[in-house]
Amino acid sequence: MAAEIKNLKDLQNTEYSLKKLFKEAEDFLPLLGTDYVELYVGNAKQSAHFYKTAFGFQSEAYAGLETGLKDRVSYVLKQGKIRLVLTTPLQKDGELNEHINVHGDGVKVVALWVEDARKAFEETTKRGAKPYLEPTVEKDEHGEIVKSGIYTYGETVHMFIERKNYNGIFLPGFQKWESHYNPEPVGLKFIDHMVGNVGWDEMNTWCKFYGEVMGFAQIISFADDDIATDYTALMSKVMSNGNGRVKFPINEPAKGKKKSQIEEYLDFYNGPGVQHIAVATDDIVATVSAMRERGVEFLYVPDEYYDDLTERVGEIDEDVEVLKKHGILIDRDEEGYLLQLFTKTVVDRPTMFIEVIQRKGAQSFGVGNFKALFEAIEREQALRGTL
Ligand code: FE2
């Protein structure tokens, strides 16, 4: 298991081989990858326009009144392998309205692509998962899918999607969404990881859930003194499935002189939930430039971050001046390095944001970047008066 990491050198020396750790994990819950992420939002039509324009997502599928739904509408957006589903209720009351009222716009479903959704449900519920949806078959003229679901932290759920007998655009009931407005993609390829914020002293509970119920293994742990400023702190552990395609870091607040940013999230989201979705690109400079041009706001990184960059991370292919111009963070582990940049929150409440990540060998997460992110969010927190 991963050791506590006090600095980057420890991280580099920490032994964690995904292959070694996960032999067992693949046996009872093999995951093919992330299938889709569904957000419950106040106005899916307008949110869809935002994710198309600002992030380069493409119109993929639609379900609503025109397709026979009475109570909700869903837009499916795609870029690379990433599928975002934006869902809004069409009537008053009910689960969707309640979710939006309590949490604001946010992630409800992190759907996982499986070979066998019945087995995924059976294996996880027998290990203690709280059921959300019993295995259900849905059909249309394009075949059938099997889906099932379990709860994770807060009101967030994991759906298991089995689609080997389906060749429709998304799921039964959805039709192709034809749009004349198709902004260029910005190079987002797949979901690298999704981070959950959980309550005080709950990090280990949820890491245990991912370990025991879903067969994940812990690959990294950051203690509160790793990720602390003079004022506030957090703790984090990273859980990964067997093939490393699905990674869920879990954060909890830690005590400091002022309010932890995780606590700020919990206050505004009214409980645990998804803090950020990290999307991978092969060219972070091009991706971030395109996103900036389209109006995406990123967290500010102070110039001093780049002063001793080469000493910290060694030789890199990119021009440091270009990285500095965009505020891109760089960190290294023993296998290579990674580049990351974080947007400001993409919803009105200070809750969810998007990370852009490019991995050049590194498979883990650097403590240096984690701290830089933490400090950048804290600057935003101070502006909001919630520090
Ligand atoms: Fe991240």
- Domain CATH code at residue 172: 3.10.180.10
Same domain? 367 vs 236: yes
Considering the domain architecture, whether residues 342 and 232 belong to the same structural domain is answered as: yes
Question: Lowest-confidence range among 138-142, 188-192, 322-326, 374-378?
Answer: 374-378
Structural domain of 128: 33-176
Same structural domain for residues 147 and 112?
yes
Query: What's the gap in Å between 238 CA and the centre of ligand 1?
Result: 10
Q: How far apart are the first and last CA of the chain?
A: 34
Between 22-26, 147-151, 339-343, the lowest mean confidence (pLDDT) is in: 22-26
Judge whether 378 is annotated as a binding position.
Answer: no
- The DSSP element (H or E) to which 269 belongs, if any, is helix 261-269
pLDDT band at 134; cut points 50, 70, 90: very high
What's the chain's Rg over C-alpha atoms?
Answer: 20
Give the integer Cα–Cα distance in Å for 328 and 320. 9
Q: What is the pLDDT of residue 227?
A: 67
* Cα–Cα distance, 338 to 316 (Å, whole number): 10
Per-residue pLDDT tens digits for 225-281: 676 666 667 788 999 998 889 999 999 988 877 778 889 999 999 999 999 999 999
Whether residue 143 is found in the same domain as residue 237: no
Distance of CA 148 from the midpoint of ligand 1 (Å) = 27
Note whether 129 and 270 are same-domain residues: no
Tens of pLDDT, residue by residue over 78-127, are: 999 999 999 999 999 999 999 999 999 999 999 999 999 999 999 999 99
Total number of domains constituting the chain: 2
- 134 Cα to the center of ligand 1, angstroms: 31
pLDDT digits (tens, 9 = 90+) for 352-381: 999 999 999 988 777 777 777 778 888 888
3 in any annotated domain: no
Same domain, 228 and 101: no
pTM of the model: 0.91
Rounded to the nearest angstrom, the distance between the alpha carbon of 130 and the centre of ligand 1 is 26
- Alpha carbon dihedral 195, 201, 207, 210, in 10-degree steps, equals -80
Residue 276 Cα, ligand 1 centroid: separation in angstroms? 7
C-alpha of residue 353 to centroid of ligand 1, in Å: 10
- Considering the domain architecture, whether residues 363 and 242 belong to the same structural domain is answered as yes
pLDDT digits over 284-294, tens only?
A: 999 999 999 99
The answer to whether 99 is a known ligand-binding residue is: no
Distance CA 278, CA 245 (A): 12
End position of a domain, from candidates 148, 176, 204: 176
